[in-house]
């Protein structure tokens, strides 16, 4: 059994209320439940942290080193400018998945650039709530290799 860390960035605590036409009606608790159930079904444990503060997410990435086998991160708006999160992920040796509910490339031009993507194993975007299951499945598959 491996531990997977799921990190949720700023404003994701408002899921279900904030722009449901973009992000859907599922709450963050709903998405964490999907991820947890998927992880358990694949024989893994899942921990979750949501923060609106960049430093808290960086601290969690640092604390995952040597303790967690993988990190799934939905950095929210930090995706586009939080180089420090990208640096922290680059220093983490496990499997890393960048996750987005919507497809940033189908949205406003400022959302097209990710400072996180170059540091991760893969990116899952645009599949809504189903992306959380897909991210955990991708991690479990990588860990099984």
Catalytic residue flag (residue 62): no
Angle at alpha carbon of residue 134, lines to 125 and 111, rounded to 5°: 10
Catalytic residue flag (residue 100): yes
Instruction: State whether residue 140 is helix, strand or coil.
Output: helix
Of 23, 44, 92, 132, catalytic: 23
Q: How many Å apart are CA 61 and CA 71, to the nearest integer?
A: 8
Question: 33-56 burial string, b = 16+ CB within 10 Å, else e?
Answer: ebbbebbeebebebbbbbbbebee
Of 48, 92, 100, 132, catalytic: 100
Active site residues: 23, 100
């Amino acid at each position: 059994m491996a531990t997977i860390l799921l990190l949720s960035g700023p404003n994701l605590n408002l899921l279900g209320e904030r722009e449901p036409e973009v992000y859907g009606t599922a709450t963050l608790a709903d998405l964490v439940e999907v991820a947890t159930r998927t992880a358990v079904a694949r024989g893994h444990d899942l921990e979750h942290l949501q923060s609106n503060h960049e430093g808290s997410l960086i601290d969690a990435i640092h604390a995952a080193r040597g303790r967690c086998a993988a990190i799934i991160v939905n950095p929210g708006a930090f995706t586009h400018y939080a180089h420090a999160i990208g640096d922290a992920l680059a220093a983490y040796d496990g499997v890393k998945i960048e996750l987005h509910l919507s497809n940033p490339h189908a949205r406003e031009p400022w959302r097209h650039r990710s400072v996180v993507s170059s540091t991760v194993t893969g990116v899952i975007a645009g599949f809504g709530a189903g992306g959380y299951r897909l991210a955990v499945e991708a991690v479990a598959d990588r860990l099984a290799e």
